[in-house]
Structure 1
Amino acid sequence: MKKTPAALAAALLLGALPAHGFEIGEFAGSTVSFEGLLQSDHYWYDSDRAPLDGDPGDGDDSDHGIRRAELVLKGDGPGGLDWVVGYDAEGESWLDVNAGFDLGGGHAVRVGQFKQPIGLEELSSSKNNDFVSKAAATNAFATSRRLGASYGYGGDGWSLTASAFGRNLTSGGAHGSGYGVRATWAPVNDGGRTLHLGLAHVDHDTDADTLRLRVRPQADMAGDRLVDTGTLTDADRLATTGIEGLWMAGPLKLQAEYMQGDVDRLAGPDFTASGGYLSAVYNLTGEGWSYRGGVPRTASPAGPRGMWQLAARADTLDFDDAGIEGGRMDAFTVGVNWYYRDNFKVALNWSSIDSERAGLPDDPSIIALRGQMHW
C-alpha cells in the first residue's frame, strides 16, 4: 500500500511507526521501503587526567547531540535481487550502498559498499546495540564499510563469506585495498538455544603507508582518546584476525570476541595490538533471541509495556608493543535498556575505565544516556 507524505507525517505524530519501514510502492518489480534511525546521546564525565568533554569551552563536563540520523531506501526483487542505499545525515557519510543477488542453493553475491566480514558486534544492527558505545576492540579493529564485492555460501547453522574491497564511499573516508574472510558455525541452534563460533581475517593496505590506532573511552562524543598509537609511518599493511563466541538460551545472551591487529612495517619493527570483550545481556521481561546470517537478532517486545534488559560488559585493549606506547585500557560497563514496541529505545550505561599510557594512569568514569527512534 502506498503512503502519501501527509499519511507519513500523521503516523510519526501519532507514534504509529511501522516495525520494518514505510512501504513506498513497487517500481520495476522491486518493492521499495523507507527506513530511518535517529539516536540522541548524552554523556556525563567524571574525568581524571585527560578532559573528556568534547566541547571544553562550555564549562560543563558533558556532551550531548545527535549520534546517528540514518535514512535508508531498500528494495526487494525482482527475483533474488535486493538493494539498499543508506546515508547518515548527522555524520555526512554513506552507509550500505549495494545490491545483492541470491543465486539459490545457499550461494549469494553482493556488490557495492557494505560491512566487511569481521566483528560480530560490528556486523549486528546499530539499532539493537547492547550498549550505547561499542566495545573498544570493535571500534579499534572492525573494518566496517568499504566498496567491494563479496561471495557468501551457507547452510543450516554455518556460513562462509569472502570479500575484496577498496576505499570507503564517503569523501575523506578510509582507504586501502584488501580482502576479508569469515566462517561461522552454530553446532547448537534449536529449542531456544544457540551456540555460535566464528573466525574472521581481514588484510588491507594502509593509506600512504601510515596508520593510526586510537579509541574513545566508552563515549562516542568524547574529546580525547585514552589509547592512541600516534601516526605509525612505514606501515605497509594491517592484518586483523578475530575470534567470536556466542551463547543464547532463553532470555540470556553471552557474547565474546578477541581481535589482534598486526601491522607490517617497511622499516621499523612490526607492531601488534590486541583487544577483546565479554558481555552478558538478560531480557528481564522474558523475551528470547533469534539467530540468522551468523549474527544474533534482538526480539520484539512481548508485552505492551515493552522489553527491559540488563547488560554488563568487560573489555580490554592493548596498544603497547615494539617500543610504541599507545596505551592500555580496561573498562567495565553496566547498563539497562528499554524497548517500546519495535520503534523506541532508551539505554542508560555506567562505565568505569582503568587506563595507562606512557606510564601515566587515567581512570575516569562515564554515564551515557541514549534515546532512539526507528522505523
Structure 2
Amino acid sequence: MRLTPLFLALTALSAPVAASAAGYDWDNWPTKVAFSDGTELAATGNIAYDWNRFSDSSGIEDADAVRRKEFGATLKKKGVYDAMVYYDFQSDTWLDVFVRFESKAFFGKDVGRFRFGYMKTPVGLDANTSSRAGSFVETALPVQAFYEGRRTGAEWVLERPQYLLQVGAYGGKDLQGDNPGTTQAVRAAWTPFKAAGDVLHLGVAYSEENPRGYRDGRDVHHEASARLRARPEAGLTDIRLVDSGALVTADKIKRTGLEGIWIKGPFSVQAEALQTTVTRDGKPDYTGDGQYAAVSYFLTGESRPYNAGAVANVKPAHAYGAVELLARYSRIDLDDADVFGGRQHDLTIGANWYLTSHFKFQANYVKADASRRGVHTTPEMFEVRAQMHF
C-alpha cells in the first residue's frame, strides 16, 4: 500500500504525544556534550518524509518519499566562535560548512561576526530560513526561481537592536563543483522593535553574480548561463510549469529583494518581492520578477520566534503541542524580452502541528494557475510532511 511509509512516519512522530502525557521530556535530547572550558559539541539533523497528491487533470505523478535527510555537527564556544558541517544525504548535497568568529572575543570590541566557508547567499528571506523551520512545506515560487543558493566565501554581519547589516563576497565553484564565478552581496534590515512576540523587520538585499564558463570532464566548453524556473510548490516532482530555459551567454546576474516580517503575538505576516536581471552578451537584458505574501496564526497562542533576521520553529507551550494555520499567495513572471518562460500564481492554505520542539506535522493544499507559450494549466496539490529535527 502506497500510504504505508507515511502512516509509519505519522505513528512514529505521534509517540511523543503519548510520552508527554506520561511525563517524558521530549525537549531534552542528549545530542550535546559540553567541556569544562565552555566548548560545546552537538549533533544536528533534519529528517522529513513527504506525501504529495496531484489532481488527475494535472498530468503530474503522485509521490511519497523522504524529502530531506540532513545530518551534521556543530562545535561552538559561546561568545567566541561556532562551526558547522552539514550534509543532505537524500539529495547528496553539501549544506553549511563554515566557521564563524565573534569579534569581541578577539578585538575586545563588538564590530560584528565574521564567517568563512560554504554558506547561504543573502538575497531571499525565506530561502535563508532553516529548512527545518519552513512554515510551508515548500518555498514560494519566486524564492525557488531567484535564490542563488550556497557559495564559498566570507561574510560580515553586524546586528544591533534596531538594525542588521550583512556583506558577503563569494568565489569559485560550489561544493558540488558547479556554478563557477564570483558574487558580491549586501543585505540591510531595520528592526524598530524586536521583542518576543513583537517584531517588525523591513529589509532590502542585493547581489551581483559574475558567472564563468567552464570545461567539463570531456574537455567540452560550456558558456556561462543562467536559468530561472520553479516547481509548482511541490517538492516531489521535477516538472516546472514556468522555466526560462538556459540564458546564454550570461555576463551578470543581478538579484534584488525586498522583505518584511511582522509578528504580533500569535499573528504574523511575511512577504517578499524578488527580481533577477540577467545581462547577456549580444542579446537584450532579461528580467524575471515575483512576490509572495503569507499570514500565520497560532490557535494555541504561541508566537513565531525571531532571531538574527530570520524566524524559527516554535516551542509548544502545551503538552498537546502547538497548532498553526497559514495562507500564502505567490506569483512569478518569467516572460520578458525574447524569453517566454511563463507566468504562474499559487494559492496555498495550510496547517502545522508542532508536537514538541523536535517533531512537526505539516499539511498544505496548493491551487496553481500557470500559463506558458499558450498552454494554460491549473493543477491542485495536497501535501503532507512528517518531520523530526534536532
Give the TM-score, by structure 1 length: 0.90
Aligned length: 355
The code of the aligned residue for 2:82 comes to D
1:45 aligns with 2:68: no
Q: Within 5 Å, give how 1:108-257 maps onto structure 2.
A: 108-167=113-172, 169-190=174-195, 192-208=197-213, 209-257=224-272
Q: Distance in 1 between matches of 2:173 and 2:292?
A: 27
Indicate if the aligned counterparts of 1:106 and 1:154 stay in contact, CA closer than 8 A.
no
Q: Within 5 Å, give how 1:259-298 maps onto structure 2.
A: 259-298=274-313
Residue 117 of structure 1: SS of its match in structure 2? coil
Residue 120 of structure 1: SS of its match in structure 2? coil
Query: Any unmatched runs of 5+ in structure 1?
Result: 1-10, 54-61
Residue 127 of structure 2: SS of its match in structure 1? helix
1:66 aligns with 2:66: yes
Q: CA deviation at 1:26?
A: 3.6
Q: CA deviation at 1:197?
A: 0.2
Q: CA deviation at 1:176?
A: 2.5
Q: Distance in 2 between matches of 1:27 and 1:111?
A: 26
Q: Distance in 1 between matches of 2:274 and 2:69?
A: 29
Q: CA deviation at 1:290?
A: 2.8
The code of the aligned residue for 1:52 comes to I
Q: CA deviation at 1:78?
A: 7.4
The code of the aligned residue for 2:337 comes to A
Q: Distance in 2 between matches of 1:225 and 1:219?
A: 10
Q: Measured at CA, do residues 191 and 301 of structure 1 come closer, stay the same or move farther in structure 2, by a change above 3 Å?
A: closer
Residue 127 of structure 1: SS of its match in structure 2? helix
Q: Measured at CA, do residues 159 and 314 of structure 1 come closer, stay the same or move farther in structure 2, by a change above 3 Å?
A: same
Query: Any unmatched runs of 5+ in structure 2?
Result: 1-14, 105-109, 214-223
Give the TM-score, by structure 2 length: 0.86
The equivalent of 1:22 in structure 2 is 31
Q: Distance in 2 between matches of 1:103 and 1:247?
A: 30
The equivalent of 2:82 in structure 1 is 82
The code of the aligned residue for 2:350 comes to G
**Which digits, 9 at most, give the CA deviation of each residue in 1:47-78, with x for residues without a partner?**
545x322xxxxxxxx11111111112001127
Q: Distance in 2 between matches of 1:75 and 1:308?
A: 33
The code of the aligned residue for 1:110 comes to R
**Which digits, 9 at most, give the CA deviation of each residue in 1:215-267, with x for residues without a partner?**
10010111310001111111111100000011110001100000000001111
Q: CA deviation at 1:29?
A: 6.5
Residue 32 of structure 2: SS of its match in structure 1? strand
1:103 aligns with 2:103: yes
The equivalent of 1:341 in structure 2 is 356
Q: Measured at CA, do residues 71 and 245 of structure 1 come closer, stay the same or move farther in structure 2, by a change above 3 Å?
A: same
Q: Root-mean-square deviation (CA), in Å?
A: 2.1
Q: Distance in 1 between matches of 2:254 and 2:169?
A: 14
The code of the aligned residue for 1:186 comes to T
The equivalent of 1:34 in structure 2 is 43
Q: Distance in 2 between matches of 1:139 and 1:82?
A: 29
Q: CA deviation at 1:191?
A: 6.9
Indicate if the aligned counterparts of 1:270 and 1:322 stay in contact, CA closer than 8 A.
yes
Q: CA deviation at 1:79?
A: 5.6
Indicate if the aligned counterparts of 2:174 and 2:180 stay in contact, CA closer than 8 A.
no
The code of the aligned residue for 1:314 comes to Y
Q: CA deviation at 1:346?
A: 0.6
Q: CA deviation at 1:17?
A: 5.1
**Which digits, 9 at most, give the CA deviation of each residue in 1:163-196, with x for residues without a partner?**
0012554324433211110001111334732111
Most deviating of 183-192 and 228-237? 183-192
Q: Measured at CA, do residues 29 and 304 of structure 1 come closer, stay the same or move farther in structure 2, by a change above 3 Å?
A: closer
Indicate if the aligned counterparts of 1:145 and 1:168 stay in contact, CA closer than 8 A.
no
Q: CA deviation at 1:349?
A: 0.4
Indicate if the aligned counterparts of 2:196 and 2:303 stay in contact, CA closer than 8 A.
no
Indicate if the aligned counterparts of 2:365 and 2:383 stay in contact, CA closer than 8 A.
yes
**Which digits, 9 at most, give the CA deviation of each residue in 1:22-63, with x for residues without a partner?**
0145499631100111001110011545x322xxxxxxxx11
The equivalent of 2:344 in structure 1 is 329
The code of the aligned residue for 2:377 comes to D
Percent of aligned positions that are identical: 33
**Which digits, 9 at most, give the CA deviation of each residue in 1:262-316, with x for residues without a partner?**
0011111110000110000111100013321112233200000000000000000
Q: CA deviation at 1:20?
A: 7.2
